[in-house]
Structure formats: structure tokens, C-alpha cells
Structure 1
Amino acid sequence: MSKKITDESGLEIIETPEALAGQINKAEVFFLKNRKVLAGIGGAILVAVVAFAGYRFYIDGQEGTAQNALSSVVYDFEADSLSKALNGSGGNEGLLSIADSYKGTDAANLANFYAGVALLKQGKYDDAISHLESFSSSDLLVHARAQSLIGDAYLEKNQAAEAITYYKKAADNEKNEFFTPVYLMKLALAQEKANQAADAVASYKRVIEEFPLSSEVVNAKKYMGLLEGQVGK
């Protein structure tokens, strides 16, 4: 019979060579009984690894092409030629095509952001929301910007409750002196439209108290004063 000792933590530790040999024999028996299953698992893991490597190779190859296509269309976007930017011109792919054709690349991700902004400017709010929701960024400031734009689209659709959700996300994402007060002002406006007067007052108050040096403070005080007068506070 194998001898065992117990360490300070109370765990049993195998001590003798005979005991170790017994454990090895058990492992061999387990492998022989289950070799087909284990071989299948090993094969599946290998297939998954190879598939992922192949996917990354494909995406890396696509990235250069997508980046070139995006650089050609950004000029149209910056020149406010929205239709050309979205649909392409002169043989160049547009933002919509880049976002769809090169999925998984950084260029396609950025194309979704640009497309969302362009569609928002065109008044195509549902399409704008779809593209902006497909965009992601590890840069929290950029991510917050996308959330705010989605809020803008919902507010334009007179869906104040949905706008509030996204403005809150934007306002609470990487708070800073430059953008957070703007998001809070938008949030307060949406809350007013949703007949949430008390919440709107609280949002205006946040601008005043948390960002006293921001340019939005003057309007925040004015709108909060008007709102408090209306609700009798």
C-alpha cells in the first residue's frame, strides 16, 4: 500500500516511487480506454488552432487592401461629399462596401464609424445606428463619441428613452473636461423631452458641480433655472 503524508495545508502528497508508478499506470489505463475520445479532442483543438491561424493570415492580408480603400474615401468624407464617401466614386469603394467586404479588419471597423456619421448627417437614422453599433474601440473617448452619436440618432427619431440610455453611457465613459459636459447637456435635453424633469435638473447640476470650468456651465445654469421654475422647485 502506498504511503502518503499530509502537508501544512492538509493536502495529501504521494511520497513513494510505488505510489507514483501506480498513478502512471492509472493514467495509461485511462488513455487506452479513452484514446478515441482523446484523439478526437486533440484533433479538434488542432483544427481550431489551424483555423484561427488561417483566419488571422487572411485578415492580415485583407487589412492592407482595406486600409488603401479607406484612405481613398476619407477625402470625400472630410469634404462632406457624403454620397461619394458612402457609395464610392471613380472606381473607389465607399464606406458601406469597405465595412461589408473587409469585416474583421481595423479599416472595416473604422469605416463603420465614418459611415454612421455620414448616414446620421443624411437623416438615415436607423442605418446610422446600425453602423455605429457595429463600431468598437479600445479608446474610451472614441467609444464614448460613438455612443453619443447613437443617442443623437435616437433623439432625432423622437425616441428619448433610447437616447437617454446612450447619452448616459457616453457621459460615464472616461469622464473628462472637454466631452463629458457636452454629453451631460445632451442627456439633460433628452430627459426633458422624456418628461423627466428631476433627472434633467440633476444632469445640469452635474455639469455645474463636476465641470465648473467648462463652457457648458452658463447654459446649464440657465436651463436648470428655467426647469426648476417650471416644476416649482
Structure 2
Amino acid sequence: MAKETVKKHNEFEELVENPDALADRLAGSEDFVKKNKSKLLGVFVAIAAIIVGGFLYYNYRSTQSQEAQSAMFQAVYYFEADSLSKALNGDGQNAGLLAIANEYSGTDAGNLANFYAGAALLKSGKYAEAVEHLQNFDSDDYLLQARAYSLTGDALLEQGKHKEAADAYVKAANHNANPFFSPQYLMKAGIAHEAGNDFAAAAEVYNKIITDYVASAEVSDARKYKARAETLVGGAKAE
């Protein structure tokens, strides 16, 4: 390492003290540039294209996001007014949730449109489509994300997919579990298991409420439902 440093130092002194050597070195650099002019130009153009492209893409996404936010305002208004058809499909002048989710995917508004579209489709009885949109929704807001999992469970339950529905409810309950919403989601999971005649799984879920959420409003019902489910499990075994 020391020898290499000394060598570089000696080369530098030679260039400073010997103008001819410096001229030769510069001439060599000039020749290199001339010989590789096309390649160097291509590199500079590529770098410039990346920078400009990134700038344009950023502005495009910002514009997209603003447009989507404006479109969402009217769609959510219709959703809250229970005008589900207009909320989903628009009113002729403003885009609906389905179009927003599709055209502005990748923006926050497009993502949120999937949540509202899933909820609106669920209310409209279009359960398979509801599941698709709800599963496309992804949020850092743990309450909203858990709600999306629960709505997915509702749509699956309406399709008679009891085990999948129960799994969705449990997923909602376990997503940043809290003493207020988690017991509610677990109760729904237990009911879904019972609807599928899986009374052992139902009893297990009810027991989780009793043991993990002792202060919740659902504990009393959970005890009753657990006793009933265990009785049904015993009856099934006797048969």
C-alpha cells in the first residue's frame, strides 16, 4: 500500500516538473476522447434520459394523484349517500370507484378506491368482485386494513366459503390486535366456523375471546357460544 502511494506521488512530481510529460498525458486523454466520442456521448445521453425520465414520471404521478383525489371526492360522496351505482360507475361527469381503482392504480386514491369499491360491491351483492377489490387494497392504517380483511370475510361468507371467511376474520383480529375490534372479528370467525359445521374450531375461537379479551363486551356471548359449540362437537362425536 505504501509503495503504491509513493509511486503515485512520484508520477505526480514528474508531471509537475516535466511539462512535456504532462503534455503527453493530456494528449493521450484527448486521443481517448476522440476515439471514444460516440460511446461517451451515448453514456451522457443515457444519463440525461434517466434524469429527465425520472422528473417527468414524478410529475406524471403527482398529476395522476391529484386527478384521482378529485375524482374520489365525488365517488365517496355517492358511497356515503348510499347511491352505490353512481359510487361504483360514476355519474356521467365524474369517474366512479371502479374506474378510479383501474385508471389510477399505484396512487393513494386508486388504492383507497379499491376499499370503497369492495365495500360497495359487497352491499350490492357482487361478492366475488368485492373480494377481488378488497384483496387489492393495502394500507398502513391498521384499523382500515383490518376492516378490509373483515369485509373480505363477509363477502366470502355470503358465497358459502365458511372456512375462508373465518380465516379472513381471524386475520382481521390478529392485524395489530386490540381489545376493541379484535373480539368482534373473532366472534364473526366463530359464527363462520359454526356455519360450516366446524364446531371445534368455533369453540377454539370463542375460547380465545374468553382468555385474551377478558374485559371485552363479547366475553359473555363468547362463553355461551363456546358451551353450545362444545355440546355440538360432543353430539357429532356420539353420532
- The TM tier, using the shorter chain, reads 0.7 to 0.9
- Describe the SS at the equivalent of 1:178: coil
Provide the rounded CA distance (Å) in 2 between the counterparts of 1:42 and 1:123: 57
Provide the rounded CA distance (Å) in 1 between the counterparts of 2:71 and 2:181: 31
Q: Look up the match of 2:82.
A: 80
Q: Look up the match of 1:130.
A: 132
Q: Look up the match of 1:193.
A: 195
Taking structure 1 as the reference length, what is the TM-score of the superposition? 0.78
- When residues 69 and 207 of structure 1 are mapped into structure 2, their CA distance, relative to the original with a 3 A threshold, is same
Shift in Å at residue 208 of structure 1?
1.4
Deviates more, 1:149-158 or 1:42-51: 42-51
The letter of the residue matching 2:146 is A
Tell me the matched-pair count.
Answer: 208
Q: Look up the match of 2:149.
A: 147
Question: Going by fraction, where is helix more abundant, 1 or 2?
Answer: 2
- Describe the SS at the equivalent of 1:213: coil
Q: Look up the match of 1:226.
A: 228
- When residues 224 and 89 of structure 1 are mapped into structure 2, their CA distance, relative to the original with a 3 A threshold, is same
Shift in Å at residue 207 of structure 1?
1.0
Q: Look up the match of 1:66.
A: 68
1:107 counterpart = 2:94: no
Shift in Å at residue 85 of structure 1?
0.8
* Identical-pair percentage: 47
Q: Look up the match of 2:3.
A: 16
- Describe the SS at the equivalent of 1:16: helix
- When residues 99 and 210 of structure 1 are mapped into structure 2, their CA distance, relative to the original with a 3 A threshold, is same
- When residues 43 and 231 of structure 1 are mapped into structure 2, their CA distance, relative to the original with a 3 A threshold, is farther
The letter of the residue matching 1:80 is D
Q: Which of 1 and 2 has greater Rg?
A: 2
Indicate conservation of the 8 Å contact 2:213/2:219, yes or no. yes
The letter of the residue matching 1:110 is L
Shift in Å at residue 125 of structure 1?
0.6
2:121 to 119, 122, 127: 119
Taking structure 2 as the reference length, what is the TM-score of the superposition? 0.76
